Structure 1
């Protein structure tokens, strides 16, 4: 096996392990929904190097909360439940009612708009504090616009600064 093939094997995600994480997470979330008497269906997928579990068909935004705070907390609890069963740290992504997909679209647009502003003004621009998920989306949008960005501050007040070229 060539060195490149060995490297590819090392970095390729273990789909079976990710599917197991998704199954454990889905069972955990389903149990929470039952306890809270909330109707919803669970979808599982693997995207890149992480399991994605989505709660669909739920009414209201109680499981998302203001600025996704409840969703972030549920995601952390779910990751802990997976870790407890597998002994491995996981990067599972939890979504409720398409919130993360909508947020991804909004933040990509924001990153592009701020990049345009920074290109015009030549001045750095700091954004509001964001979660790691949100910062990653903004960093990607800024990079796609040909600029660079950095995260500054301490959690939970960590934020992105878009820098001129």
Structure 2
């Protein structure tokens, strides 16, 4: 540990270790530190939504965030309603709300972890296909079987 500390203190002073100049290494053993920006400038750049999203996109992002929260609260309200008065209206509402909630959640995971234009387009297309099949399957289940509410009640009764 002391050797690493000693090596890093030498690099900060501008002295380059001998291994740093070797052509046999794929990566240098020590890299001189770059000059850091003051923290106030960095936080100002992070928190400026105009620079990151622009004017119109910022409004759309805010509306999307609000819609996600409204849907989450609506899902919380649909639970007791589905328990006390199951029916086709709540079944189809649950199918739409659960599919949309899952779509938005997985979309955020893809946004965070998938990089590259081609990969992002393929992942988004796959997610759209998955969400479409999910919604169609839930609607098919509601129309041709007992429905989501009664299916959950049957699972709980056994």
Q: If the length of structure 1 is used for normalisation, what is the TM-score?
A: 0.28
TM-score, length basis structure 2: 0.28
Report which of the two has the higher share of helix: 2
Q: Which has the higher strand share?
A: 1
